[in-house]
Each structure stands twice: as C-alpha cells, then as structure tokens.
Amino acid sequence: MPKSFFLVLIICFGCFFIAVGQENKPFNELKQLQGVWKTEVGGKTVYESWKMISDHEMEGMSYKITNADTIIFEQTRIVEQHHKLDYLARVKNQNQGKEVAFKLVSSANKIFIFENPEHDFPQRVVYQLISNDSLHAWIDGKYQGRATKEDYYYSRQK
C-alpha cells in the first residue's frame, strides 16, 4: 500500500480522537464543581456540594446547616447523554417534586449556560468557573413579568 494511504489513515484517526475528546469537553470542565462550596445569602450561609456518580453524571445539592440539622433546598444533577448536557433540578415543594430540565446552550470561557424557556422561574441557570476555589453561579429570567437575577458567589470549602 502506498505511504499516502497510511498518512490519510493516521490523519483520519487523529481527527476522530480529537472529536471524541471535544465531545465531552463541557462535562469534563464541569467536573471542577466537585466538592463543597459556600456562600452568604441574606445573612445566611448556604452550601452547594457536587460529586461524581458516573462518567456521565454528577449529583449536587444546595443546603444550609441550622442547629446541626442539614436543610436541603434543592437536589441537582448534571447528566451527559446522547452528546447533550442537561442540568436537572428538583426544588423542595415545587413542580410536584419532579425534576426540571435545563439544556446546555453555551459553554465558552468556563461559563456554562443551561436554559429552559418554558419554566416559570428561572429560565436560565449559569455557572462560571472563576478559579479552582471560586465560583459564580446565577439564575435569571422573567418572574411575574419582570427580569430577575439572583447571584451566588461561592468559595470552595473542600
């Protein structure tokens, strides 16, 4: 076989492996969320924690600690399936206890934007990975006809 055939074959395999590596890139970057994060909201300390469940799923929760009791506000998952990434949120006493799905629509410059324009509020959930120990998250959208945004600035605890 001619050398040019092998060269083309090597280039094709190289492109394939690069494409496979890029396919999981947003999920791989979001693995930086693993651990416990802390922020202050309205004078109260709130935590968000994340852990890996599988190669394609992370599980998280938002909570506060009061008198040694852990009070969970929200349970979340980030799931990669069929070359798509979804953020799934289950908030206590909302949506009949069902998860609400937000689809990843953008992942540039370590800013991950998940959207669900049909949801009442929020319509967007955003995570910005500032550094290994600093995270800016926010939710936004229309609430009762008005543009609303809630910011959360986290620092890594462990």
Q: Which of 109, 119, 110, 158 is nearest to 139 (CA)?
A: 119
Model pLDDT, residue 9: 39
Average pLDDT, stretch 5-11?
Answer: 43
Among 14-18, 25-29, 58-62, where is mean pLDDT lowest? 14-18
pLDDT at 17 over 50: no
Strand partners of residue 76:
60, 89
Q: Is this prediction's pTM over 0.85?
A: no
Residue 18 CB burial class (10 angstroms; 0-12, 13-18, ≥19):
exposed
Tell me the domain boundaries of the chain.
Answer: 3-156
3-156, what's its fold?
A: Lipocalin (2.40.128)
Q: Give SS3 for 97.
A: helix
Strand partners of residue 151:
138
Model pLDDT, residue 24: 63
Model pLDDT, residue 96: 86
Q: For residue 3, what pLDDT band results from cuts at 50, 70 and 90?
A: low
d(CA 46, CA 64): 5
Q: How many CA atoms lie within 13 A of 53 on its CB side?
A: 12
Q: For residue 7, what pLDDT band results from cuts at 50, 70 and 90?
A: very low
E strand segments, the chain: 35-41, 44-54, 57-66, 69-81, 84-91, 100-108, 111-115, 124-131, 134-143, 146-156
130: which residues sit within 8 A by CB, 6+ positions away?
A: 110, 136
Q: For residue 2, what pLDDT band results from cuts at 50, 70 and 90?
A: low
Strand partners of residue 154:
135
Model pLDDT, residue 158: 75
pLDDT, tens only, 83-128: 899 999 999 888 888 999 999 999 999 999 999 999 999 999 999 9
Average pLDDT, stretch 117-146?
Answer: 95
